[in-house]
A and B are shown apart, each in its own frame.
Chain A
Amino acid sequence: SQTIHQWPATLVQPVGSPLSLECTVEGTSNPNLYWYRQAAGRGLQLLFYSVGIGQISSEVPQNLSASRPQDRQFILSSKKLLLSDSGFYLCAWSVGSYEQYFGPGTRLTVT
Chain B
Amino acid sequence: GESVGLHLPTLSVQEGDNSIINCAYSNSASDYFIWYKQESGKGPQFIIDIRSNMDKRQGQRVTVLLNKTVKHLSLQIAATQPGDSAVYFCAENVDMRFGAGTRLTVKP
Spell out A's residues near B (CB within 8 Å).
34, 36, 39, 41-46, 49, 90, 92, 97-105, 107
Which A-B residue pairs are the 4 nearest by beta carbons? A102-B43, A45-B4, A43-B4, A97-B93
Tier of interface size on chain B:
20 to 34
**Interface: B96 (CB within 8 A):** yes
Given pairs A46-B97, A99-B34, 7 additional interface contacts (CB within 8 A):
A42-B6, A43-B89, A90-B44, A98-B34, A99-B46, A99-B49, A105-B43
B85 to chain A minimum Cβ distance, whole angstroms, is 14
A–B complex contacts, Cβ < 8 Å, 20 sampled: A39-B4, A39-B5, A42-B5, A42-B6, A42-B101, A43-B6, A44-B89, A44-B98, A44-B101, A46-B97, A97-B32, A97-B93, A97-B94, A98-B34, A98-B49, A99-B46, A100-B34, A100-B91, A102-B44, A105-B42
Please report the C-alpha to C-alpha distance between residue A43 and residue B22 in the assembled complex, in whole angstroms: 15
Please report the C-alpha to C-alpha distance between residue A41 and residue B38 in the assembled complex, in whole angstroms: 11
Contact B7–A41 (Cβ < 8 Å): yes
Please report the C-alpha to C-alpha distance between residue A107 and residue B89 in the assembled complex, in whole angstroms: 20
- Report the nearest B residue to A105, measured CB to CB: B43
B:88-108 near A, CB below 8 Å: 89, 91, 93-94, 96-101, 103
